[in-house]
Copies of this chain bind each other. A is one copy, B any other.
Amino acid sequence: MAMPTDLKLDPRPLYAQVRELLTRRISSGALRPGAPLPSELQIAADLGVSHGTVRKALDALAIEGLVVRRQGKGTFVVEQTPQDVHFRFFNIYTADGRKVIPDSRETRIKTAKATVVERRRLAIDTGARVVRLRRIRTHGDQPFISETIVIPEARFPGLAEHKTIPNTLYDLYQAEFGVLVVRAEDQLEPVVADKNVSSQLAIAEGAPLMRIERVAFGLDNCPVEWRSSLCNLAGLQYVAHLGQGMAPA
């Protein structure tokens, strides 16, 4: 709770320093998912800054989705539920605008040395090992996505030995490994089904598929997952929102 390297020699605004300090406490695991942060007045007193400065830092964390504020109760480290994950990171809708809720089957896990592509996508070193997870996702019992998920073994020790893997992964990442996914980038490309995937998804060769490649980022802004999916949308649609809260890079 005490002052770390003390304040005024840092040229950045105070609220930015407070924000970063709290971010570190969360990413380090000192504040667990679901845990309450100290109250605004408490933090202000601890750090020797004013109420308003702490508020500005907490508001920023709330906007980033790192923290949840509840009037009358307190401020809590976000605890991703399968519903949260699905709401924030799943973008496929039916023609009448309802979100698709997929299931998973035939999940297989292996570990291996990372390939060149995997190392580049995940920004990891030569020789590092990864966990590869392959599965088929279904919508109303129809298989429609074949996906491969790759994560660095160093961040997820022991995941490959898990007996059962849940349908949504990001809540598992947070609860079991303290890895909070806050942002992701999808790259989309239309392709035609080859022989291999057409048998997996029970469709004709040459049918149009959507290839989605995603890199997901953690609190430290480093990649924590790469996944590549082939989707037989067949009347479903991938929906992207543009223009809200984007700032020039």
Contact B23 A248 (CB under 8 A): yes
Interface size on A, residues (CB 8 A): 47
In whole angstroms, what is the CA distance A191 to B210 when docked?
Answer: 9
Query: Which of chain B's residues have a CB closer than 8 A to the CB of A37?
Result: none
Q: Check if B91 sits within 8 Å of A16, measured CB to CB.
A: no
Q: Does A187 contact B (CB under 8 A)?
A: yes
Given contacts A182-B245, A183-B245, A246-B247, 18 further A-B contacts (CB under 8 A): A20-B249, A64-B245, A65-B243, A65-B246, A182-B243, A183-B242, A183-B243, A183-B244, A184-B243, A185-B241, A188-B188, A189-B236, A190-B208, A190-B210, A190-B233, A192-B208, A208-B208, A220-B248
Decide yes or no whether A221 CB sits under 8 A from chain B: yes
Q: A20 contacts which chain B residues (CB < 8 A)?
A: 248-249
Q: Are A210 and B188 in contact (CB under 8 A)?
A: yes
On chain B, the residues within 8 Å of A79 by CB distance are none
With a cutoff of 8 Å between Cβ atoms, the chain B residues found around residue A183 in the complex are: 241-246
Mask, A169-199, CB within 8 Å of B = 1, is: 0000000000001111111111110000000
Q: Which of A87-107 contact B (CB under 8 A)?
A: 87-89, 91, 93
Contact yes or no, A238 B64, CB < 8 A: no
Contact B239 A186 (CB under 8 A): yes
Contact B184 A63 (CB under 8 A): no
Residue A237 at the B interface, CB < 8 A? yes
- Residues in B neighbouring A220, C-beta threshold 8 A: 248
Contacts of A233 in B (CB 8 A): 189-190
A240 within 8 A of B: yes
* Chain B residue nearest to A85 in the complex (CB): B243
Q: How far is the CA of A247 from the CA of B239 in the complex (A)?
A: 16
C-alpha gap A196/B165 in the complex (Å): 46
Known: A245-B244, A248-B20. A210 touches B189 (CB 8 A): yes
- CB of A209 closer than 8 Å to a CB of B: yes
Q: How far is the CA of A206 from the CA of B191 in the complex (A)?
A: 11
Cβ-based interface call for A124 (8 A): no
Q: Mark A218-244, 1 if CB is under 8 A from B, else 0.
A: 011100000000000100111111111
